């Protein structure tokens, strides 16, 4: 049986664990050892620095893509609000409030395959305005974009582009058919070529295998991603995954820990669906997590900024 402590020391000494080692680790019954070792790795490579980021759903619904988990797709009948791009004043208000409450980052998220035309021009002007008026760091999540468009976002004040790979390459075809996994990888590389930070993670609990989760973690490592949001599926009525069984909290925490073993120096952050952990969210902060997406998410309610600040501070993190 694989020795968890030996794997911890291997990572601490600067070596990478292999896929087979990661597979054995995630199957271990020594879960407290696994969590503790992930915490040691986090402390060694990231210290106790945490980061809270916030997002705003700036354009909702009517998405042309058929991602099976998503409430905003035109292929699914859900009860979400549908609205066009929000005006500058409303966006500024939310960004300012998030900054005042202590969030380090603020991102606008828009539905659709990729933001285009007049909406893209409007979003550039909004980012320029926010950059001029606020000190909060700006992120963006506007789908599949070209190098030129991401460069324009950077020039408008955006410091990090968010684009999830969602799952493994092999499983992606089971989740979406209207664009490819390679489209997502190419967008990430476009952002990297534009010399902008990249935030990329995915969703667990989609029906994927353990191998798929590990392949996603290793893909993110190969892409050198340093901000990795881990979402846990919250099934939405009206989507093809509405009857998917929720993940066991221990399996969620084990996945987080293995992500830390594989991506030793990244911000691994709680994202959507962490309420699936129930009363074990604090446990994740001792099992590899060192950041969080906070406030209201896209179409589900998240945790409050002040509550998350308290949780991190109570677990000896520095914001």
Predicted confidence at residue 66, as pLDDT, reads 92
Sorted by where each begins, the domain ranges of the chain are 51-314
Question: Mind listing the pLDDT tens digit for each residue in 33-76?
Answer: 999 999 999 999 999 999 999 999 999 988 999 999 999 998 99
Predicted confidence at residue 2, as pLDDT, reads 83
Q: What is the mean pLDDT of the chain?
A: 94
Statement: residue 298 has pLDDT above 80: no
Statement: residue 303 has pLDDT above 90: no
Predicted confidence at residue 297, as pLDDT, reads 53
Q: In terms of Cα–Cα distance, which of 296, 299, 257, 260 is closest to 280?
A: 257
Section 166-192 average pLDDT: 97
What six digits make up the tokens of 48?
Answer: 């106790």
> What is the value of pTM for the model shown?
0.94
Domain 51-314 has CATH 3.40.50.2000: no
CA atoms of 270 and 308, how far apart (whole Å): 11
Question: Mind listing the pLDDT tens digit for each residue in 84-125?
Answer: 999 999 999 999 999 999 999 999 999 999 999 999 999 999
Question: Mind listing the pLDDT tens digit for each residue in 214-264?
Answer: 999 999 999 999 999 999 999 999 999 999 999 999 999 999 999 999 999
Predicted confidence at residue 299, as pLDDT, reads 45
Statement: residue 79 has pLDDT above 90: no
């Amino acid at each position: 049986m694989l020795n968890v402590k030996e794997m911890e020391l291997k990572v601490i000494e600067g070596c990478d664990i292999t896929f087979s080692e990661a597979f054995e680790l995630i199957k271990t019954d020594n879960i407290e050892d696994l969590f503790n070792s992930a915490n040691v790795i986090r402390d060694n490579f990231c210290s106790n620095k945490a980061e809270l980021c916030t997002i705003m759903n700036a354009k909702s619904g009517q998405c042309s893509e058929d991602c099976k988990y998503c409430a905003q797709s035109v292929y699914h009948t859900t009860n979400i609000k549908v609205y066009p791009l929000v005006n500058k004043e409303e966006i500024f208000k939310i960004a300012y409030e998030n900054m005042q409450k202590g969030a380090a980052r603020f991102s606008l998220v828009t539905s659709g395959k990729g933001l285009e035309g007049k909406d893209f021009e409007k979003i550039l002007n909004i980012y320029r305005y926010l950059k001029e008026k606020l000190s909060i760091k700006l992120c963006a999540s506007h789908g599949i974009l070209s190098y030129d468009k991401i460069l324009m976002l950077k020039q408008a004040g955006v410091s990090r582009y968010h684009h999830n790979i969602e799952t493994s390459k092999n499983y992606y075809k089971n989740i979406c058919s209207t664009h490819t996994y390679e489209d997502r990888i190419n967008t990430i590389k476009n952002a990297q070529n534009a010399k902008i930070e990249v935030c990329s993670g995915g969703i667990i609990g989609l029906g994927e295998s353990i191998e798929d989760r590990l392949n996603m973690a290793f893909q993110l490592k190969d892409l050198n991603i340093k901000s990795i949001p881990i979402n846990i599926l919250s099934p939405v009525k009206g989507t093809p995954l509405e009857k998917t069984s929720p993940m066991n909290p221990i399996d969620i925490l084990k996945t987080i820990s293995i992500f830390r073993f594989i991506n030793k120096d990244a911000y691994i952050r709680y994202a959507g669906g962490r309420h699936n952990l129930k009363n074990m969210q604090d446990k994740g902060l001792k099992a590899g997590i060192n950041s969080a997406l906070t406030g209201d998410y896209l179409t589900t309610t998240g945790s409050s900024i002040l509550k998350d600040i308290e949780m991190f501070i109570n677990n000896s993190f520095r914001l």
